[in-house]
Structure 1
Amino acid sequence: MKRSIFLAAGLLLLNLTASRVFSQTTQDTTKKTTQDTTKAAAPAVEGASDVVGALASNADYSTALTAVKAAKLDSVLKVGGPYTIFAPHNNAFNALPAGKLDSLLKDPVKLGALLKGHVVMGKYGKKEIIAALKAGKGKAAVTTLDGQTLTLSLAGSKLQITNAAGSSAQVTLFDLVGANGIVNGINGILMPK
């Protein structure tokens, strides 16, 4: 009889422990899945038809989109690829001297030259950039549509991009995905020589 009581108590204790572990695992899994889904859903635009559509998906880069269209670069970026656009945030365009943006928008050739310095051939999302930086021991070089070299490096914990003229900006947003490329947001404009 004593043995039966101990056996029943042991089974009850085992059942309670298993229930707690299962409950904790379920809560952790739900919490982790929710966090992972939230992180993934914020920057990714899996359904964008092209890299221009990915750029259009985020209102913080609407000035860059307007500039791409004004330079008639959108027709180039909608086909072929893959492309990576390092798109200046609206605040970067707002920081230009008074009248500079209007002047650029009225000169598609000059604007196109500026913007081509922000577009590279190839897919350089966060994962690919990290791999390139590891392979290059902290630095990586990519070539823009107009043949310039952009140097990628770490400035503290931020990814910094510097062009041949010495103009630099930091990446503030990764991986807006389009069918033929990726948009990464930057906090400045890479001015040419």
Structure 2
Amino acid sequence: MKRSIFLAAALAFTTFTASHVFAQTTDTTKTAAPATTTTTEGASDVVGALASNPDYSTALAAVKTAKLDSTLKTGGPYTIFAPNNATFSNLPAGTLDALLKDPAKLATVLKGHVVTGKYGKADIIKALNAGKGKATLTTIDGQPLTLSLAGSKLQLTNASGSTAQVTLFDLIGANGIVNGINGVLMPGK
């Protein structure tokens, strides 16, 4: 009986210790910034993936207002770097309202947030590793979008020097991925 109790206690201690060690282990091979990863299975397209997270409802409304939803629902694959609602609310007063009243200008801004290709977190890490810390993607309007590390954060920089950091990875749609960002990439004048 004592032997059984001793074996049970030893097994419990070993299990607890192993799980504690595994919980403390970190993967130091990854170079991308720690950001939230959310997988949305079953979204019919990238617009559906965008709609799956309420923190991106303003971006969704902007895509619809600019009439880009029909383009983004077909073809692809696409990756949308979508500003979250808080980002839109932090724009200077009147900026969002002015953009929503001018769908052509809004479409120009939004096209600077969309690239052709599927770039989830793992794909971005591979691209950064291959580019020794930098990668350049092309937006659907033909502009360069540079990905780099700013400290431990993944940063995007557009052709006019506007920057944002990725805050959410991998909202998956059938024809692409949405990654959330904390800034609006405004085009040059």
Interval of TM-score (by shorter of Structure 1 and Structure 2): 0.7 to 0.9
In structure 2, what is the Cα distance between the partners aligned to 1:185 and 1:42? 10
**1:192 is aligned to 2:182:** no
Paired residue for 2:11?
A: 21
Percent identical residues = 69
Q: Which residue of 2 aligns with 1:5?
A: none
Q: TM-score normalised to the size of structure 1?
A: 0.82
Local SS of the residue matching 2:155: strand
TM score, norm. by length of structure 2: 0.83
1:49 aligns with 2:44: yes
1:165 aligns to what?
160
Give, in angstroms, the shift of residue 24 of structure 1: 5.2
**Cross-structure match for 1:100:** 95
**Does residue 114 in structure 1 map to residue 115 in structure 2?**
no
- 1:42-101 deviation line (CA, Å, top 9, x unaligned): 711111111101101111111000000000100000111111000001111111122111
Distance 2:13 2:75 in 1: 50
Equivalenced residues, count: 174
**What are the superposed Cα offsets for residues 108-129 of structure 1, whole Å, 9 maximum, x if unpaired?**
1111111000000011111000
Q: Does 1:174 align with 2:164?
A: no
Instruction: Identify the match of residue 139 of structure 2 among 144, 147, 154.
Output: 144
The one-letter code sitting in structure 1 at the alignment partner of 2:95 is K
Q: Is 1:133 the counterpart of 2:128 in the alignment?
A: yes
Q: Tell me, what secondary structure is at the counterpart of 2:42? A: coil
Distance 1:42 1:25 in 2: 28
Of 51, 68, 74 in structure 2, the residue corresponding to residue 79 of structure 1 is: 74
Structure 1 residue 17, shift from structure 2 partner: 3.3
Structure 2 residues without counterparts, runs of 5 or longer? 24-35
Distance 1:20 1:177, change over 3 A: farther
- Partner-residue secondary structure (3-state), 1:67: helix
Deviations 1:15-40 (A, max 9, x none): 95377437854994xx98xxxxxxxx
Instruction: Check if 1:123 corresponds to 2:118.
Output: yes
Please tell me whether the aligned partners of residues 37 and 170 of structure 2 are also in contact (alpha carbons under 8 angstroms): no
Higher relative contact order (CA 8 A, sep 6+): 2
Asked whether the equivalents of residues 58 and 88 of structure 2 are also in contact (C-alpha less than 8 Å), the reply is yes
Q: Which structure 1 segments of 5+ residues have no match?
A: 1-7, 33-40
Q: Which has the larger radius of gyration?
A: 1
